[in-house]
A and B are shown apart, each in its own frame.
Chain A
Amino acid sequence: MAFCLEVSGEFACFTRPEMKVERVSYDVITPSAARAIFEAILWKPAIQWQISKIEVLNPIKWMNLRRNEVESIVSTRTAQTAMKSGEGHLGIYVDEQRQQRASLLLKDVRYRLHGEFQLTDNAGPQDSAAKFADMFRRRAEKGQCFNQPYLGCREFSCDFELVDATRGPDPIQDSPDLGFMLYDLDYSDPTSPKPLFFRAKMENGVVTVPDRYSGEVRG
Chain B
Amino acid sequence: MSLNHRYEFVYLFDVKDGNPNGDPDAGNLPRVDAETGQGLVTDVCLKRKVRNYVGMVKEETPPFEIYIKEKAVLNKNNLRAYEALELKHESKKLPKKAEDAKNVTRWMCQNFFDIRTFGAVMSTDVNTGQVRGPVQMNFARSVEPVVSAEHSITRMAVTTEKEAEAQSGDNRTMGRKFTIPYGLYRCHGFISANLAKQTGFGEEDLELFWDALVNMFDHDRSASRGEMSACALLVFKHDSVLGNAPARILFELVDVKRKTEGPARDFSDYEVTIDEDKLPAGVELLKYLD
For A73, A100, A156, A193, which residue has the most chain B Cβ atoms within 10 angstroms?
Answer: A73
How many whole Å from A132's CB to the nearest CB in chain B? Answer: 15
Q: Is B107 an interface residue (CB 8 A)?
A: yes
Which A residues touch B79, using CB under 8 A? Answer: 87-89
Chain A binder among B122-130, B176-184, B264-272: B122-130
Q: Please determine whether A94 and B136 come into contact, CB atoms closer than 8 angstroms.
A: no
Q: Is B147's CB within 8 Å of the partner chain A?
A: no
Q: Is the CB of B123 within 8 A of A155?
A: no
Asked if A93 CB lies within 8 Å of chain B CBs, one says yes
Of the candidates A65, A107, A139, the one having the most CB atoms from chain B within 10 angstroms of its own CB is A65
Docked-complex contact A76 and B138, CB < 8 angstroms: no
A159 to B252, CA, bound (A): 12
* A165 CB-CB contact with B under 8 Å: no
Query: Is A76 a contact of B127 with CB atoms below 8 Å?
Result: no
* B136-191 with Cβ < 8 A to chain A: 136-139, 141, 188, 190
Q: Which residues of B, 213-252, contact A by the 8 Å Cβ criterion?
A: 240, 242-249
Please tell me if the beta carbons of B67 and A66 are within 8 angstroms of each other in the complex. Answer: no
Contact B190 A157 (CB under 8 A): yes
Nearest opposing residue in chain B for A91, CB measure: B69
Which residues in B have their C-beta under 8 angstroms from that of A75?
123
Contact code string B186-208 (vs A, CB < 8 Å = 1, else 0): 00101010110000000000000
Tell which of B67, B107, B128, B195 touches A83, judged by Cβ atoms closer than 8 Å.
B107
Contact with B along A96-114 (1 / 0, CB 8 A): 1000101000010000000
Complex CA distance for A187 and B128, rounded to whole angstroms = 10
Among A109-168, those with CB < 8 Å from B are 139, 142-148, 150, 154-157, 159-161
Q: Is the CB of B24 within 8 A of A68?
A: yes
Measured CA separation A160–B80 after assembly (Å): 46
- CB <8 Å contact, A91 and B68: yes
Contact B70 A93 (CB under 8 A): yes
Complex-state Cα separation, A91 to B141, whole angstroms: 30
When chains A and B are docked, how far (Å) is the Cα of A94 from the Cα of B243?
35
A146 touches B194 (CB 8 A): yes
| Contact in complex: B126, A190 (CB < 8 Å) | yes
- Bound state CA distance, A89 and B190, in angstroms? 32
| Interface membership of B81, Cβ < 8 A | yes
A10 to B23, CA, bound (A): 19
A64, A87, A156, A161: the one within 8 Å of B25 (CB): A64
Distance, CA A107 to CA B141, complexed state (A): 14
In chain A, positions 182-207 with a C-beta closer than 8 Å to chain B are 187, 190-191, 193
Tell me whether A73 and B120 are in contact (CB under 8 A): yes
Q: Are A94 and B69 in contact (CB under 8 A)?
A: yes
Task: Name, among A80, A96, A100, the residue most crowded by chain B CB atoms within 10 Å (CB to CB).
Answer: A80
Pairwise interchain contact A147-B124, C-beta atoms closer than 8 A? no
Q: Tell me if A's interface is mostly helix, strand, loop or mixed.
A: mixed
Interface residues in B59-83 by Cβ distance below 8 A to A read 65-72, 78-83
Are A100 and B122 neighbours in the complex by a CB distance under 8 Å? no
| Residues in B neighbouring A147, C-beta threshold 8 A | 132, 134, 136, 190, 192, 194-195
- Residues of chain B within 8 A (CB-CB) of A102 are 25
Q: Is the CB of A74 within 8 A of B67?
A: yes
Which residues from chain A contact B80 at a C-beta distance below 8 Å?
87
A178 adjacent to chain B (CB < 8 Å): no
On chain A, the residues within 8 Å of B103 by CB distance are 83
B104 at the interface (CB under 8 A from A): yes
Expressed in whole angstroms, the minimum distance between the Cβ of B12 and any Cβ of chain A is 17
Q: What residue of chain A has the Cβ atom nearest to residue B68's Cβ?
A: A92
With both chains docked as a complex, state the minimum distance between the C-beta of B209 and any C-beta of chain A, in angstroms. 16
Is B43 at the interface (CB under 8 A from chain A)?
yes
Assess whether A82 is interfacial by the CB under 8 Å rule: yes
Q: Indicate whether B84 reaches chain A with its CB closer than 8 angstroms.
A: yes
Tell which of A76, A91, A193 touches B101, judged by Cβ atoms closer than 8 Å. A76
Chain A residues close to B by CB (< 8 Å): 10-11, 63-70, 73-76, 79-80, 82-83, 86-96, 100, 102, 107, 139, 142-148, 150, 154-157, 159-161, 187, 190-191, 193
Q: A69-B44, A159-B246 are in contact. List 15 more A-B contacts (CB 8 A).
A: A65-B25, A73-B121, A76-B124, A83-B107, A86-B84, A91-B65, A92-B69, A94-B48, A94-B71, A145-B192, A147-B132, A147-B195, A154-B136, A157-B138, A193-B128
Cross-chain pairs A/B with CB under 8 angstroms, 26 sampled = A65-B31, A66-B23, A66-B25, A67-B24, A74-B122, A74-B124, A82-B82, A83-B103, A87-B81, A90-B78, A90-B112, A91-B65, A91-B66, A91-B68, A92-B67, A95-B70, A142-B246, A144-B240, A144-B243, A147-B136, A150-B136, A155-B139, A157-B136, A157-B190, A157-B247, A159-B248
